[in-house]
Structure 1
Amino acid sequence: MNEQEEDLIRRMYGLVGDRWDLIAGRIPGRKAEEIERFWIMRHEYVFSVRRN
């Protein structure tokens, strides 16, 4: 992901939450699964804290 895509994902997540299909629709050439995987990898610490 380039910096512009990351910024758009961050802003869209703030607006629509984890509706990856909607976010992917705004980024040409990216799939919802790819964006979700990117988000989870970037925020891995948050997800691990929530599990415990």
Structure 2
Amino acid sequence: MKLSLALELNNQYQDAVEVYDEIIEEYPRSSELTDAKKLKALAEEKAR
């Protein structure tokens, strides 16, 4: 999560989306899954 947030701060939204995808796929039972999905959606919007 820290990496994806750092990428967003550097306006690297597509890279952040990829990191969120990894979190969602590799850690489906994580307590941060809901946050990762929300933040991924926001990063996708900013990447456009």
TM range, smaller chain: 0.3 to 0.5
Q: Which has the higher contact order (CA 8 A, sep 6+)?
A: 2
- Greater radius of gyration (CA): 1
Report which of the two has the higher share of helix.
Answer: 2
